[in-house]
């Protein structure tokens, strides 16, 4: 068994157990035994239960980046990448939902996952053709994070086979971000330096991220913006005034 196969088996089993028993009952030893894996090897590769979550996030990124769109606007490419990430979450839906229910009572894990998710959003931006480096890249990642968290709220409720509600939320979030700033412009117009941004939130669950810093212009060669706030995510129709960053991180 390769390292990749070992990690995939342990992480998948951990999320299966979470769906059956709740995330609070999951640990590395239990997952290793349930998957018939070496506990010693599991200890070497997963020093703590939170390592399972961080590995899960990287697996979600890899699933999204396995088929990077080569054509279309930046907005279209981001839509495809985010939906491919949701497709991965969907294969572990019960476990992810169990995690979402647990995180509000575990702020340390939530904060760690917040930082991990912002890195994931930077990967999505760069794969879509946005430079997303330096301080401006931090703001760009925070803007896409707001869209992601908005869509996670919709995904949590979405019981459709084709994730139509989630698709509507992603499309709506990207559309509203575009309306705040011309981040889809292919020109590389200069813009003032972005304001400082506090760490964002959530990896798989929309928990309690700090508030967004307001609309920001993104460039390099394309940009994104923090969407304007709204209190509730859509059920089936896109919102009128754009996504809101939810109240607790994943």
The confidence score (pLDDT) of residue 139 equals 86
pLDDT digits (tens, 9 = 90+) for 45-78: 999 999 999 999 999 999 999 999 989 999 999 9
Cα dihedral 84/248/179/198 (nearest 10): -110
Helix 49-65 vs helix 107-127: crossing angle, to nearest 10: 20
The tokens describing 77, both together, are 């490419």
The tokens describing 84, both together, are 């491919």
The confidence score (pLDDT) of residue 120 equals 97
Peptide bond into 193 cis (omega under 30): no
pLDDT, mean over the chain: 79
Asked whether 227 and 218 are in contact (CB, 8 A), the reply is: no
How many angstroms separate the CA atoms of 45 and 193, rounded? 41
pTM: 0.73
The confidence score (pLDDT) of residue 248 equals 37
The tokens describing 97, both together, are 């939902």
Q: How many helices (H) and strands (E) does the chain have?
A: 9, 0
Average pLDDT over every residue of 80-95: 97
Return left, alpha or beta for 233; rule: phi > 0 is left, psi -120 to 50 is alpha, else beta. Answer: beta
How many angstroms separate the CA atoms of 143 and 66, rounded? 23
pLDDT digits (tens, 9 = 90+) for 96-155: 999 999 989 999 988 998 899 999 999 999 999 998 889 888 888 888 999 999 999 999
Query: Which ranges of 91-163 would DSSP assign to H, the alpha helix?
Result: 93-102, 107-127, 134-157
Using the structure block, give the residue that is written with the tokens 């304007």.
228
Percent of the residues in the chain that have a pLDDT greater than 90, as a whole number: 58
Average pLDDT over every residue of 217-241: 39
How many angstroms separate the CA atoms of 53 and 14, rounded? 9
For 33, 125, 192, the CA distances from 172, given in Å and listed in that order, are: 43, 17, 26
Q: With CA atoms as reference, report the closest residue to 35 among 8, 59, 53.
A: 8
Asked whether 203 and 250 are in contact (CB, 8 A), the reply is: yes
Phi/psi at 175 (nearest 5 deg)? -65, -45
How many angstroms separate the CA atoms of 59 and 6, rounded? 13
């Amino acid at each position: 068994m390769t390292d990749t196969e070992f990690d995939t088996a342990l992480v998948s089993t951990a999320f299966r157990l979470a769906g059956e028993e709740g995330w609070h009952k999951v640990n590395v030893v239990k997952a290793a035994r349930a998957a018939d894996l070496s506990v010693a090897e599991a200890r070497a590769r997963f020093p703590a239960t939170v390592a399972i979550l961080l590995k899960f996030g990287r697996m979600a990124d890899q699933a999204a980046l396995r088929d990077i769109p080569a054509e279309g606007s930046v907005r279209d490419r981001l839509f495809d990448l985010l939906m491919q990430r949701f497709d991965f979450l969907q294969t572990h839906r019960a476990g992810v939902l169990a995690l979402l229910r647990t995180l509000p009572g575990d702020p340390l894990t939530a904060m760690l996952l917040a930082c991990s998710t912002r890195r994931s959003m930077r990967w999505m931006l760069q794969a879509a053709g946005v430079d997303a480096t330096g301080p401006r890249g931090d703001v760009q990642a925070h803007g896409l994070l707001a869209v992601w968290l908005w869509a996670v709220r919709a995904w949590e409720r979405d019981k459709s086979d084709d994730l139509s509600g989630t698709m509507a939320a992603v499309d709506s979030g990207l559309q509203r971000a575009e309306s705040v700033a011309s981040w889809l412009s292919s020109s590389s117009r200069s813009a003032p330096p972005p304001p400082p941004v506090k760490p964002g939130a959530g990896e798989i669950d929309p928990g309690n991220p700090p508030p967004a810093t307001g609309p920001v212009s993104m460039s390099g060669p394309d940009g994104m913006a923090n969407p304007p706030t709204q209190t509730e995510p859509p059920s089936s129709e896109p919102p009128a005034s754009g996504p809101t960053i939810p109240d607790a991180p994943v």
